[in-house]
Structure 1
Amino acid sequence: MTLPTDRHGYAGFATRLTGLAADSLLLTVAGLLVSGLPPMIWRQMTGDDPQWLVALSGALAGLLPWAYFAACWALSGATIGALLVGTRTCRSDGTTLGPLRAAVRALVGLVIAPVWLVGLLGVLTDGRRRAWHDRLFGTVVRRAGSTVAPIAGRPSVGPGPSRPGPPAGPAR
Structure 2
Amino acid sequence: MPPANATAGGLPRSRSGAVADRHHQYAGLVSRWCALAVDLAIVATAAALTASLPSAIWRSVTGVEPDLLPAVSVMAAAALPWTYFTAAWWLGGRTVGALLLGLAVTRPDGGRVGLVRAATRAGVGIAFAPVWLVGMLNVLFDAERRAWHDRLFGTVVRYRAGRREDPLVGPPIRPPR
Runs of at least 5 residues in structure 2 that lack an aligned partner in the other structure: 6-11, 13-19, 168-177
Q: Which structure's CA Rg is the greater one?
A: 1
Q: Percent sequence identity over matched residues?
A: 50
TM-score after normalising by structure 2: 0.78
Name the amino acid aligned to 1:71. A
SS at match of 1:128: coil
1:163 corresponds to: none
Two-structure CA RMSD over aligned residues (Å): 2.0
SS at match of 2:105: strand
Q: Distance in 2 between matches of 1:40 and 1:32?
A: 12
Q: Distance in 2 between matches of 1:51 and 1:60?
A: 16
TM-score after normalising by structure 1: 0.80
2:54 corresponds to: 38
Matched residue pairs, number? 146
Name the amino acid aligned to 2:114. G
Runs of at least 5 residues in structure 1 that lack an aligned partner in the other structure: 147-157, 159-172
Q: What is the correspondence of 1:1-172 to structure 2 with a 5 Å cutoff? A: 6=20, 9-145=25-161
CA shift for structure 1 position 145: 3.9
Q: Distance in 2 between matches of 1:63 and 1:95?
A: 27
Deviations 1:89-140, CA, capped at 9 Å, x for gaps: 0111111111110000000000000000000001000000000000000100
Q: Distance in 1 between matches of 2:140 and 2:21?
A: 11
Name the amino acid aligned to 2:70. V
Name the amino acid aligned to 2:152. L
Deviates more, 1:74-83 or 1:30-39: 30-39
SS at match of 1:105: helix
CA shift for structure 1 position 64: 0.2
Q: Distance in 1 between matches of 2:65 and 2:118?
A: 37
Deviations 1:44-86, CA, capped at 9 Å, x for gaps: 1111222310000000000000000000000000000000111
Q: Distance in 2 between matches of 1:145 and 1:45?
A: 46
